[in-house]
Structure 1
Amino acid sequence: MDKVRTISKKQLPDKAQRHKLFGSVEPGPRTKPREKSKMADLQNTREDFLFDLDAVGIANVKHPITVASNLEPKTQTTVGTFEFSSSIDKSSKGTNMSRFTEQLQAFHQKGFVINLKTLKRFAKDLAERLDQKDAEIKVSYPWFYERRGPQSDLSGMNHADITIRVNYDTSAGCSIEASMSSLITTLCPCSKEISEYSAHNQRGEVTMTVSLTEGFDEETMDWKELLLEAAESNASARLHPVLKRPDEKMVTEQAYENPRFVEDLARLVAADLYEMPFVTRFQVQCRNEESIHMHDAIASITYDKLEDDESQEG
């Protein structure tokens, strides 16, 4: 029979004594007012503070959000990372930081669905709450979408990283910038050309940042789905969370039939974005994590369609 082990118990000082042992002290005298109306408000001090500030606010605010999508799942809950700011002129010492999170909570209580219409309203309301001429909201989150195997039809979840930035100005209105980063497959054309058989491929990342027209109607088309298609349809092949052997055969053969340099990918994605009427300006950044080199391969394009229109008119 196993012997029962007896554990001796230390005699510890009580919790208050332990706190005192590690540096806690008794509260000192309280001489400053506790009522908000009697407290000094340093942030609202008015004086010449030398410089206007482009942006003042808070960042790295994590909060649950709801995202709507044309792809399954049509509605999903995810975590958004927020940044809120506004400009202030040199006559103001600072801003009221608590008002940013107060507004976030107010929108959350109404059900914070992340779409362009809601974010434009948020930015406008925030400028009014701060009593400033402008305000900006930026939110980043993972967007999940269902992807099925091309032969087996077995489904799983892929995701892309989304960032939306909405700036409201009392005189200029709203400007909207959206970004998506998506993973794809590319197969090296040079390797295919020079090798007797096979060709090396790699995982690539396509990041697209687009400026959207203010009147873009998100209810008639989902910009997330359109940007995702621009990245994936121009790659050698798409990525899949679930692949059986017949799927793998189809995907690898598709990649072999559609070789892409990183430069090719950037230009093909740019062509799709150029043809989207609701995109006024775009940047495409492509990166291949090379499978037989020690380096990554990169390419980028920045294009302003409005400047192109002006040059043609001139």
Structure 2
Amino acid sequence: MKDVQNEKDERNIPLKHVGIKNLSYPIIVLDKKNKIQHTVANINMFVDLPRDFRGTHMSRFVEIINDFHFKIEPKTIKQILDKLKESLNAQSAKIEITFPYFLKKEAPVTKIKSFLEYKCGFKAYDNDNKYDFYLIIEVPIQTLCPCSKEISKYNAHNQRAKVLMEIKTYDLIWFEELIEIAESSASSPLYTLLKRPDEKFVTEESYENPKFVEDVSRDIALKLKDDKRIKWFKVEVESFESIHSHNAYACVDSSVLEV
């Protein structure tokens, strides 16, 4: 049959990224405690397209993912990009993979266990054999406003927030380690299941540990800076303010700590 994608294009315009987005796919990822975890990923995959080709071969993106038999981990990401470039005659390739990752957490007092979801993922680029790989994780937390506590006779406003980290590493670092860094930098972690003694503990813990989003981002940055496995990082903290119609936001990356 005629290969329309390989028709010569006369417009003389190269394309930076062509490929597929929002592919939902079952995968197996590494889990520090249980060794593996089954989940469902959202996958974006791209290559460059030279100026003289009309289109890319979209089916090959899914075929390449199929070849890895659901196993997605840092060492296989580079192999996926290499196969994309080889199969599609590309100079560059990019992949973005995000997935829900579940950990079993104990309530602080009753020790009742329940699962909490974290949004994790990988992002990688290979451009003319220059390879960059990033870990991505979003951690839900709680913040309590230091200003509100200081000026109020009773209580202080508190709310859920999220920490988003992008990490480049020299060596293996587990999602669980990044989760611990984020949660220990918050006013309090979040829990799926709390009984009354647990709620009392969490409420009082956050009150005794007030944090602005600025505080959380800086505390996380200092902990990441001290980890010799980490080459580069970016931290974003967003708080869903309970008494405002807007969110509070802070961002830092490792470049500001290098001066």
TM-score (norm 1): 0.77
Partner of 1:77: 38
1:172-211 pair list within 5 angstroms? 172=130, 174-211=131-168
Q: Distance in 2 between matches of 1:132 and 1:295?
A: 43
- The percentage of aligned residue pairs carrying the same residue is 37
Q: Distance in 1 between matches of 2:161 and 2:241?
A: 8
| Structure 2 residues without counterparts, runs of 5 or longer | none
Shift of residue 53, structure 1, vs aligned partner:
1.3
Partner of 1:26: none
Q: Secondary structure at the match of 1:304?
A: helix
Partner of 1:254: 205
Cα deviation, 1:117-158, whole Å, max 9, x if unaligned, reads 111211112211222222222111111111101121110000
C-alpha RMSD of the superposition:
1.9
| 1:281–1:49 distance in 2 versus 1, CA, 3 Å | farther
Partner of 1:157: 115
Shift of residue 231, structure 1, vs aligned partner:
1.1
- Residues paired across the two proteins, number: 259
User: Are 1:239 and 2:201 matched, yes or no?
Assistant: no
Cα deviation, 1:219-259, whole Å, max 9, x if unaligned, reads xx41x112212211100001111212222222222111111
Shift of residue 65, structure 1, vs aligned partner:
0.7
Shift of residue 278, structure 1, vs aligned partner:
3.0
Q: Which has the higher strand share?
A: 2
Q: 1:140 aligns with which of 92, 98, 104?
A: 98
Q: Distance in 1 between matches of 2:153 and 2:128?
A: 64
Q: Is the 8 A contact 1:49 1:92 kept in 2?
A: no
Shift of residue 48, structure 1, vs aligned partner:
4.8
Q: 1:101 aligns with which of 40, 59, 62?
A: 62
One-letter amino acid of the counterpart of residue 296, structure 1: N
Shift of residue 292, structure 1, vs aligned partner:
1.9
| Structure 1 residues without counterparts, runs of 5 or longer | 1-38
Q: Distance in 2 between matches of 1:294 and 1:171?
A: 46
Partner of 1:53: 15
Shift of residue 165, structure 1, vs aligned partner:
1.0
Shift of residue 113, structure 1, vs aligned partner:
2.1
Q: Secondary structure at the match of 1:181?
A: strand
Q: Secondary structure at the match of 2:60?
A: helix
Q: Distance in 1 between matches of 2:111 and 2:36?
A: 22
